[in-house]
Amino acid sequence: MQEDATPSLPPSVAARHRGWSRAVAWRNEAGGVTYRLTWGDAVRFCKLDDPRALADEVARTRWAAAHLPVAELLDHGTGWMLTRGLPGVDATAPELLARPEDTVRALASGLRRFHRAPVADCPFDFRLSAALARVRRRVAEGRVVPARDFHPEFRYLTAATALAELERDRPETEDLVVCHGDYCFPNALLQADEVTGFVDLGELGVADRWWDLAVATWSVVWNVGAAHERLFLETYGVAPNPARTRFYRLLYAMTS
């Protein structure tokens, strides 16, 4: 019989929540797990993941708390963070997917709100110079594996040719906002057709708004179909930009 490899709650968290109900709310492909802890109406989440990634998320969550509806950080340690639950359900909830137009409009309006956070106050940089430097390092270290990391539309590329495409097609200007970094259906909570919270902030940083728009519309396509991509952009308030969409989707694939 194969043993369950799910990591346990940190001892300090387990001790503080003795008697609380617990369930795995989310797993990622790298082995990270998020527990949902409940006691009556009280809800908390304990996320366990790579220590460096969690340290980044803790720092960004603290910064974002002054500007955006994000989960209250209750405690953290090496490789874990504990947050208070937010109202709403994520946009993959069946009842929201059953009303795709309303959900897409809510997500687009939510992203517009996120992008109003103050760029000048944000200490986290993911402008193209920083992003492409990360990609070059990952390619040099052999950490970009197209068969594993790329969606089908990019799998004809090797890591080297994908990097060459990014270098060739790098936009000459950037329309800078504070980006979420991974704005997709699971990372936005909705209630009454409004975004009530943003989660998974480990990639938050100053970047071109098309970093988020490209990933968000990709998520729209995957979750409710390509017919709703234009509605997202119209609600957000921009015209389609196929060149930037392709560039930032490929950049996302190579930095994730």
The Cα 100–Cα 110 span in angstroms is: 15
DSSP conformation class of 24? E
Asked if residue 69 lies in contact with residue 83, where contact means CB atoms within 8 angstroms, the answer is: no
The Cα 60–Cα 47 span in angstroms is: 15
Where helices occur in 85-155 by DSSP H, the ranges are 94-97, 100-114, 128-140, 146-149
Length, in residues, of the chain: 256
Q: What is the largest CA-CA distance in the chain?
A: 57
The Cα 35–Cα 50 span in angstroms is: 15
Catalytic-residue membership of 182: yes
Q: What is the dihedral of CA 157, 245, 206, 72, to 10 degrees?
A: -100
In the chain, helix, strand, coil percent, each to 5?
45, 20, 35
Phi, psi dihedrals of residue 120, rounded to the nearest 5°: -65, -25
Out of 56, 90, 182, 208, the active site residue is: 182
What residues act catalytically?
A: 182
